[in-house]
Amino acid sequence: MSAYTARIGAALAAGCALALLYPATPAGAAGSVHLSKIYYDSPGTDNRSTSSLNGEYVQIKNSTSRGVSLKGWVLVDASNHKYTFPSYTLGAGKTVTVRTGIGSDTSATKYQDRRAYVWNNDADKATLRKTGGSTVDTCSYNSSRVDYKIC
């Protein structure tokens, strides 16, 4: 083996050893679309008023560097109450709030247009699915001591 080949081999071995000292890039480093918060117990008395129903919501965050089409994606609870996104793109780094009650949709807020509560005040599970049914994210809670869950 020549001196040149030995130096190359030593440099490669040192580089590999150095690489082992640094952690791999996490799988989610590129970002994701995920459930970020469930406000499951709206403030005040549960009287089914529009403001009370809209006090119950789920937030979905896009932490990627590009817009993601949510058309046909479904947000569902454990009792199978479903909200299906219409034609909609969630911008890069943006959050959309999906409120239970009635209102006018905007780019930041969507309404399920329901007249009854979706999220149980003590325990439930939110699931976000793509159009084909594959699960994107889930978030569960089991507490009546607080009103919301950071996912």
> At residue 18, what are phi and psi to the nearest 5 degrees?
-65, -40
The tens digit of pLDDT for each residue in 58-90 reads 999 999 999 999 999 999 999 999 999 999 999
DSSP string, 100-118: SS-----SSEEE---SS--
**pLDDT score for 4:** 41
Longest Cα–Cα distance of the chain, Å, equals: 84
The tens digit of pLDDT for each residue in 35-61 reads 999 999 999 999 999 999 999 999 999
Place of tokens 């979905």: 60
**pLDDT score for 30:** 63
- The torsion defined by the Cα of 45, 80, 141 and 71, in degrees rounded to 10, comes to -100
Q: What is the distance between the terminal CA atoms of the chain, rounded to a whole angstrom?
A: 57
Residue 9 has pLDDT above 60, yes or no: no
3-state helix, strand, coil in the chain (%, to 5): 20, 30, 50
Across 116-127, average pLDDT:
97
The tens digit of pLDDT for each residue in 82-120 reads 999 999 999 999 999 999 999 999 999 999 999 999 999
**pLDDT score for 16:** 39
- Is the separation of the CB atoms in 108 and 59 below 8 Å? no
Choice between 16 and 92, residue whose per-residue pLDDT is larger: 92
Q: Which amino acid is at 150?
A: I
- Is the separation of the CB atoms in 85 and 72 below 8 Å? yes
Least-confidence region, from 15-24, 81-90, 130-139: 15-24
